[in-house]
A and B are shown apart, each in its own frame.
Chain A
Amino acid sequence: MRALCWTSGGELAVGQVPDPELRNDHDVIVRVRRSATCGADLPLLTGRASGLAAGDVLGHEFLGDVVEVGGGVRRHRVGDRVVVCASVACGACWYCRRGLPSCCDNGSTDPTANEAEWGHPVAGCFGQPRAAGGFAGSHAEYVRVPYADVGAFPVPESVADDRALFASDAAPAGWLGAEGGEVRPGDVVAVWGAGAVGQLAARAAWLLGAERVVVVDRHPARLLMARQHVGVETIDRRDTDVAAQLREFSGGRGPDVCVEAVGGPAGEHLSLADRFTGRAPVPEAVREAVYACRKGGNVFVLNGGTRHVNAFPTGAVVHKGLTVRGGRQHGQRHIPMLLDRMARDELRTEHLATHHFPLDRAVEGYALFRDRPEECLRAVFTPR
């Protein structure tokens, strides 16, 4: 089959790879209908020791049709149109049974691979370096989906592909930002990042009863989209003092909940000296959130791409009594609810699919997503 792969030369190319096969009883094979780029892919493409090997297939946000079903699968049949959670979890371990599937113990084919990096194994993810589970990505004609009864969900007929696609990752991530930040009715919520994840975090905040929501970014076109489609106020960080504007926005108290959903190399600030000395980046948006957040408020961090940082304001966390949490989306728990909201038109996401490409032009799609973020919010690939 054709797939978007990492090459030995350290670049992307569409080429031929063997078709995936059922490897476990709980697997299904999905023929991809749509597969989207994600901000989480961008750090992989900088070439800095990403861990990708030649032949690795990229992509983790997707939906498609079930074409093969393993012997242990109960909930799916050939022909079902399903959206698949970008992360891989077993549904049976202590964490999964407590509604924390992205903390799954059994989501990886080599749990020891994560231990060195995070201390513990975490849920797998499609289309990432092997250490993230060992599962080929979705920018391909076909994908193998492990634990299919747990991670794949039938899409209601009334929900179109371009909407349901975002239930795979961006919508559950956004939902987690708001839910994990414990947004309550009447809250003032600030979201950093107007990408798909940030916009859907803002939408989730509305749905959870927030009374004012503001989104911060540096791209006017993305902020315009957030105003038009999510009905939020926006702050363009290039021409204002973000902290001062947030104070104004929240009666001087500071937002009750701050969600960080920024991405890419743009999400971190590295001075020339830092680059020279190899110092860790400064988490610009998280710092701003910690200083802006009201006393006793919640800061929720969604960007896991920056592995470690310097200049984290621990003092402000202590003196203001903040709760700082992070997390990867728990789609296995949230996707059915999100699809339901999509079917009821409470959650509209198709505007995020700004660009469509046939899979054969996926390299071009990534270049656009990376280099022209003001224009391209998500590039969506269609294999046929």
Chain B
Amino acid sequence: MGRVGTVVAVAGALGVAAARATRTAVSRQRAWRAGPPHRWQVVTVDRPPEQVLPSAVWPEPLRRLDGAVEVTVARAPGGRGTELAARARPHAAWPGLSAHLLGDDPGLLVRRTLWQVKQLAETGEVLRADRAPGERGPVDRPPR
């Protein structure tokens, strides 16, 4: 069960959350400059923090990374919603994730996950691709 444990709890104590969020946003800036391999990945979600992480429970796409990432939220400037950031913990164990899902760049997996959380919060669903070419049958050539 993923809880927003490490940094920010959104529900209930929004005032506190916002104050903490500001602090973490600042420290994140520093981390951003520090560069890979454990760079913060950030997306802006056009919804208030309490909708992005409702009841301080991580939405499903993030829950899969529970224990492996740190997460922060900050209010975006100009009423643009929520800046949602995550980064891989050093030496993270990736729960139940096969090597091929993880690839050799955990940052990319974190980033994809953030985009999914954003899609879910903004549109109510995570967009699924049409069947991958590999899933399709072979192309029959028409008789010439």
Residues of A within 8 A of B (CB): 5, 7-8, 13-18, 20, 23-26, 53-56, 72, 90-94, 97, 105-106, 108-112, 121, 130, 134-136, 144, 146-147, 360
Interface size counted on chain B using CB atoms at 8 A = 29
Task: Give A154 Cβ to nearest chain B Cβ, in Å.
Answer: 22
Give the Cβ gap from A209 to chain B, nearest Cβ, in Å: 34
User: Which chain B residues lie closer than 8 Å to A97 at the CB level?
Assistant: 46
Residues of B within 8 A of A136 (CB): 130-131
Contact B124–A106 (Cβ < 8 Å): no
Residue pair B122, A135 in contact (C-beta under 8 Å): no
Give the distance in Å from the alpha carbon of A297 to the alpha carbon of B114 in the complex.
Answer: 41
From known contacts A23-B128, A92-B122, infer whether A15 and B133 are also in contact, taking CB-CB under 8 Å.
Answer: no
Complex: how many Å from CA A55 to CA B133? 5
Interface residues of B in 114-144 (CB under 8 A from A): 115, 118-119, 122-125, 127-133, 135-142
- Contacting pair B141 A13 (CB below 8 A): yes
Instruction: Tell me if B30 counts as interface (CB < 8 A to partner A).
Output: no
The chain B residues found within 8 Å of chain A, CB to CB, are: 44, 46, 80-81, 108, 111-112, 115, 118-119, 122-125, 127-133, 135-142
A365 to chain B, nearest CB (A): 14
Name 7 interchain pairs, CB-CB below 8 A, sorted by A.
A5-B139, A18-B135, A91-B123, A93-B122, A94-B46, A109-B129, A136-B130
Given contacts A56-B133, A109-B128, contact A17 B112 (CB under 8 A): no
Contacts of A121 in B (CB 8 A): 115
- What 7 additional pairs, Cβ within 8 angstroms, besides A18-B137, A105-B118, A109-B127? A7-B141, A17-B139, A23-B128, A25-B125, A92-B122, A94-B81, A111-B115
Of the candidates A17, A92, A108, the one whose C-beta lies within 8 Å of that of B123 is A92
Q: Secondary structure at chain B's binding surface: helix, strand, loop or mixed?
A: loop
B112 & A112 in contact (Cβ 8 Å cutoff): yes
Supposing A20-B130, A94-B46, A112-B108 touch, asked if A13 and B124 sit within 8 A by C-beta, the answer is no
Q: Which of B111, B127, B138, B140 contacts A112 (CB 8 A)?
A: B111
How distant is the Cα of A219 from the Cα of B128 in the complex, in angstroms?
A: 42
Give the distance to chain B from A150, nearest Cβ to Cβ, in Å.
9
Cβ–Cβ contact A135 & B130, under 8 A:
yes
The smallest beta-carbon distance between B88 and chain A, in angstroms, is 15
Contact B136 A55 (CB under 8 A): yes
**Is the CB–CB distance between A93 and B46 below 8 Å?**
yes
Nearest CB of B to A159, in Å: 28
Please judge, given known A-B contacts A16-B137, A16-B140, A146-B127, whether A94 and B44 are in contact too, CB under 8 Å.
yes
Give the CA-CA distance A121 to B118 in the complex, in Å. Answer: 13
**CB-defined contacts of B137 to chain A, threshold 8 Å:** 16-18, 55
Q: Please indicate the chain A residues that have their CB under 8 angstroms from the CB of B140 in the complex.
A: 15-16
Q: Which residues of A contact B118 (CB under 8 A)?
A: 105-106
Question: Could you tell me if A14 and B128 are in contact, using CB atoms closer than 8 angstroms?
Answer: no
B121 (CB) vs chain A CBs: closest residue: A92
Contact A55 B127 (CB under 8 A): no
Contacts A13-B142, A111-B115: A24 and B133 contacting too (C-beta < 8 A)? no
A24–B127 contact, CB under 8 A? yes
A55 to B80, CA, bound (A): 40
Kindly list chain B residues whose C-beta atoms are within 8 Å of the C-beta of A8: 139
Q: Are B123 and A7 in contact (CB under 8 A)?
A: no
| Minimum distance in angstroms from B39 CB to a CB of chain A | 14
